[in-house]
Structure 1
Amino acid sequence: MNHVTVVDLGYGDAGKGTVVDWLCGARPVHTVVRFNGGAQAAHNVVLRDGRHHTFAQFGAGTFRPGVRTHLARHVVVDPLALAAEADHLASVGVSDALDRLTVDGEALLSTPYHRAANRARELARGADRHGSCGLGVGETVAYGLAHPDEAPRVADCRTPAVLRRRLAALRDRLTAELGPLNAPPVEDCLPAFGGFADRVAIVDRTYLAGVLRAGTCVFEGAQGVLLDEWHGFHPYTTWSTTTFANADTLLAEAGQPGAAERLGVLRIATTRHGPGPLVTEDPALPLADPRNPTNPWQGRFRFGHFDAVAHRYALEVAGGVDGVALTHLDLADRGLRICRRYDTLDRLEPGPPGDLDRQAALTARLLAARPVYDDGPPADWPSAVEEALGVPVVLTSRSPTAEGKAVRKGRLFAPVV
């Protein structure tokens, strides 16, 4: 039970990256395993000396010397974005990030064609945008589902003839559906993907079992449970399983089912980047997040009071946690309150995965719901969150650096000495 899986119990952006970085400093960690999402992830880590990196595909423990990253087959891998991320890491003092990276060859390969198609679809939605990041991750997954035997995968980068054929078919299908795409010719893409295959260790799915035996691993989730492809509030969701499910599958395949503690991450403010339900949204809150600015694809970064109704729902659909990391406690004096029920309901009922009509109906109910708040801000946020959610708060964070973290006495996840 020395592994840890980290999952966001909100709409993302709660601080998974800074928690993963802390874990990798508080105990000896061999590898950070990314198990969902892709280049659209944005996990910010700030060091005491001010160095900062937004982790997308590399694990958020990469600032820690020797900590490796493994991209499991559930990750959508974008080699071009990965190269740019490695360049930024080098500029802030991490020159060996690619040397510490392994990638499962079965992972879907995200390409400029997926990105161009994603942006074309989102622009066509006009005012009904879903809040995509515009990086092609969902488009890559959708194409993989529609054409599982022809979708480009990481292992194809080692075989130029196969990759050329699959990229051409991808380009032709998307062009026939959407019109001309703003993307380079296939021949211009091949050298970059070939260079990726030459530089990075591409492995098969059996590799992870050895990693798990070699030492402690931290499984780092992307986005948040309330954006889950099946349990989120359709259509404002991601094409990714954001619960613990993928990590659980990987552990079971490696012969270590249940061998990871489950850590959920929450802000004391419930936030959302882009459109979709945010029942407790309050534009009057004196809050800002400079690392989550408004952008042309997602739109505004929105703030609300702590939504215990939504977070209890996330706990249910995720199958529970061993503890919660509660972040942004430095904002406790900003008038934030707790919402334990809505005017029309006090519990969101989980449904079976795959029933998107049901999830869309739930979205409609949430868009019409109004929050009912406690009388005032809690005097003790960790205790109040424990009482509202029925789970222990085991880690608190008052700043984006590791030094701002504190283990609650007598709780799980204490540092290994």
Structure 2
Amino acid sequence: MTQSRILLVIGGGIAAYKACELVRLIRRNGADVTCVLTDGGAQFVTPMSLAALSGNPVHTSLWDLQSETEIGHIQLSRAADLVVVCPATADLLARMTAGLADDLATTLLLATDKPVLAVPAMNVRMWQHAATQRNIAWLRQSGVEVMRPDEGPMACGEFGPGRLPEPDAIWDRISHLLAAGPAGTVTADPLSGQPDFDEGVQHRPLFGRHILVTAGPTHEPIDPVRYIANRSSGKQGFAIAEAAAAAGARVTLVAGPVTLATPPGVDRIDVESAREMADAVAAALPADAAVMVAAVADWRARDYAADKIKKDGGQLAPLPLAENPDILATLAARPDRPRLVVGFAAETSDVVAHAMAKRVRKGADWIVANDVSGDVMGGADNTVHLIRADGVENWPTLSKADVARRLIEHIGEELAND
């Protein structure tokens, strides 16, 4: 088997020290790694340390006479299977967005025709700044994979999102991208400013697309210890998110309270209640397609009790309920709705008939209907019916992973018609 080759660009930030452990992980997993150290990165780690850990020369300057005699930056940018920028500082992300090429790192990033993974690390305020978020959105739209940073205490003493993910998590994303294969060159169309994808992405049908997925139950609090919930495990939604990422999409997964691991290559947002999920879905837009798999509670307690409700030896008074927002119908009615809105219908009887009515009532493009009268919620398999305006596809019983792959194939075909 051919050894995978990774080009690691190390930006200037305190998190650069973790690049040393990442280099060790890459080599331990059988891949080759060559490091490019920026001037800022060299303030935190040394070329000697990286050379010893990687077993390869470390590149630091665009003006290296021996390397550049043979146009070394072009060779570096093309020789790797994957380019990883870690840590990707706010400044480095901004320079990538602007297409600058004033040092070795930015020049090879502009010259590469290989997939690029950026792993941000910065102060929480810098991460949340509108300029940084705008840059990240453009990079993702242009085909760059951008990991979501971890949340926690920072070297500056603040707390929040912006911490570099742990090396194990970064390697998981690297291995996922290596397994997915080359994504092809992505450039910007000079007239529209939108990404223009070449033939190299055809085997990753959702490359450059943003897919929004919801999964799991919602918990609607009654008092500090009780809530209204359902039996959804989240497995089907997580499988769909994973299949979409494997097809090359940027995936946002809005997950209710489940204990499942985040699929590789997926940005996950955890929520508890239906109202939190509705807000997260709206914040995740725009998207090319939305797959609403979550089993959202239709009702919540009208009045939340600040203290635990006591029995007091008598009967519990009736619990007044209020209707939760209809996330699927609201999304389908938005002027900036995704190109394709897919809902799920979990039914216990007259499955297809109820789902067909639901598709029209909610304004969804497709509905995936399944019979949940057995052990589907929490089980490994699913039997579904794909309902569209032009008819019904009855699928055989499949594993949830196979259901996910088949649905993503259909979504890819539909979006390809745009």
TM-score normalised by length of structure 1 = 0.31
From the two aligned structures, give the one with the greater strand fraction: 2
Which structure is larger by alpha-carbon Rg, 1 or 2? 2
